[in-house]
Structure 1
Amino acid sequence: MLRRLRYLRDMPRFALKIEYDGGPFAGWQRQAQGQKSVQGAIETALSRLEPGPHTIAAAGRTDAGVHATGQVAHCDLTREWDIFRLSEALNHHLKPQPVAVVQIARVPDEFHARFSALERRYTFRLVQRRAPVTHDAGLVWQVQHALDAEAMRQGAAHLVGHHDFTTFRSSICQAKSPVKTLDEITLEDLPYPGGREYRFHLRARSFLHNQVRSIVGTLERVGAGGWQPEDVRSALEARARAACGPVCPPQGLYLTGVGYPHDPFKN
């Protein structure tokens, strides 16, 4: 047993920064039913470089249809790899799936993609226009009616801080507590051909299951005029899932970054 533990400690650990289009996948996490997952795709690519089963850990387990531009995972390999060669080899074996390893860093054994993280950052893209989106199909949530950006900002302000987010979490959420601190939520109002694009940026140490989609779906109701901004505070204080607005679809959601005490990719 001691010999086995010594062998495991000698395995070099690598951090991977990953981007992917979540559309073809049943989510990040490996699926027992054999459905396609981002984790499964990367572990399969790793097995082609080093035979044997591989298990990687990620900073966040994104749901089916959710994308990432800054997911972080770590893996343990049996030998020291040149970073450039490892990146090239992994991306070769990931083709033609919409997954790419954009950066790799050698990290200490104590680094853990999930447990070492200090914050997660998400962006949700909402497009308002009458004509169907073409280039962004599957990458944004589209609505046709006009939205009031300032009203949505006022509603969002009620959610920043340390709260019981029972209203804004899935009924199947497995978190031990619904109490979280939402450090930031900002809204960009941008021009979009034939309409407007609204980008919601949220930052917290961790999020509850469906929390971001529940928040954005509720704020969209504020922007459309169905809710008043102060109704968001009332929904939060109700601490009841039934008080939440509609949960928006996953295709506009992106995991954009993960913060650590020391950024492994800085150099």
Structure 2
Amino acid sequence: MRRRSNRVAVESSSVVAATRWLKLTVAYDGAAYAGWQWQPTEPTVQGVLQDAWRTITQEEPRLTASGRTDAGVHAEGQVVGVETASTIEPRRLLRGLNALLPDDVVIRAVDPAPAGFHATHDSLRKTYRYQLHTGPTPPLFDRRHVWHWRAGPLDAERMGQGGACFVGRHDFVSLESVGSERSSTVRTITDLTVTTRPVDGGERIDITVTGDGFLYNMVRTIAGTLVEVGRGSKPPEWVAEVLAARNRAKAGQTAPPQGLFLVRVEYS
């Protein structure tokens, strides 16, 4: 987590009684972090962002994220909400935060948000992408950003056929890992695509999925389940059986974290 060398002057704001809400769009390489959520003894994305915010504004921030990405998971468009009394303009906050953050975390935008904005509760849809690399040779430069599948080729067309079974409103309890209690395990998937292209002597396969919400490790289990279809051990229609079983043991493995990206979060 090397610090950037292009420093800018850190500004302090005058604190007034009125507050405002801001929406930060954040990208990060999660390889060096124990996830999004702050931990007292481990480096986290929330932790480094809070440190930078505290330095610039002299405030103790209360940040809400659209989702708590796990250790090793990445983001291209994580959304973070913050209520602040700082009067620093968004463009100066953007510049100042990026000067203080490690070079594997970048604030892409600082925008005004409606009063009471909550990045988690106000989100309408999220899009995730899971990335695989097939082939005998490990991908050197993408090694922290893909699941390197060594056990033979994967049929992306069959994976897409199986993935179509996930689209719609279903009970996804078969794809939820233990560790997060939810009042309901019903979610709506509006789109799921499987694309492929040749790269580095093998193939890059991307599973992109959009929905109104996701259970703990749901996208990684979708990937692990579709790999079973792609390798030929299960037919595409087996995916519907997994959903109907309502039993985690019937689905595929939880894919490794490094292939997962939070791509974007949509709001009204």
Where does structure 1 lack aligned partners over 5 or more consecutive residues? 1-6, 262-267
For 2:212, the equivalent position in structure 1 comes to 205
Which of 118, 121, 132 aligns to 1:115? It is 121
Match of 1:14, SS state, is strand
Letter paired with 1:176: S
Where does structure 2 lack aligned partners over 5 or more consecutive residues? 1-14
Please provide the CA RMSD for this pair.
1.4
**For the residues of structure 1 that align with 2:226 and 2:97, how far apart are their CA atoms?**
39
Distance change (3 Å), C-alpha of 1:116 and 1:248: same
Q: What is the correspondence of 1:5-154 to structure 2 with a 5 Å cutoff?
A: 10-31=18-39, 33-96=40-103, 98-144=104-150, 145-154=152-161
Distance change (3 Å), C-alpha of 1:8 and 1:146: farther
CA contact (8 A) 2:126 2:213 kept: yes
CA contact (8 A) 2:139 2:200 kept: no
Match of 1:117, SS state, is coil
CA contact (8 A) 1:9 1:109 kept: no
Instruction: State how many pairs are aligned.
Output: 253
Distance change (3 Å), C-alpha of 1:46 and 1:233: same
Letter paired with 1:243: K
**For the residues of structure 2 that align with 1:8 and 1:209, how far apart are their CA atoms?**
40
**For the residues of structure 1 that align with 2:143 and 2:156, how far apart are their CA atoms?**
23
Match of 1:174, SS state, is coil
Which of 197, 203, 208 aligns to 1:196? It is 203
Q: What is the correspondence of 1:240-255 to structure 2 with a 5 Å cutoff?
A: 240-255=247-262
Deviation at 1:189, TM superposition (A): 1.3
CA contact (8 A) 2:16 2:86 kept: no
**For the residues of structure 2 that align with 1:107 and 1:233, how far apart are their CA atoms?**
40
**For the residues of structure 2 that align with 1:229 and 1:205, how far apart are their CA atoms?**
24
Q: What is the correspondence of 1:170-249 to structure 2 with a 5 Å cutoff?
A: 170-249=177-256
CA contact (8 A) 1:171 1:241 kept: no
Q: What is the correspondence of 1:157-176 to structure 2 with a 5 Å cutoff?
A: 157-176=164-183
- 1:204-225 deviation digits (Å, cap 9, x = unpaired): 1110000000010010111011
Match of 1:69, SS state, is strand
Misfit runs of 4+, over 3 Å: none
CA contact (8 A) 1:59 1:72 kept: yes
- 1:112-153 deviation digits (Å, cap 9, x = unpaired): 211211111101111111111111011111112101111111
Match of 1:28, SS state, is coil
- 1:37-79 deviation digits (Å, cap 9, x = unpaired): 1111101100001224212101111111100000000112222
Letter paired with 2:75: A
**For the residues of structure 2 that align with 1:9 and 1:225, how far apart are their CA atoms?**
62
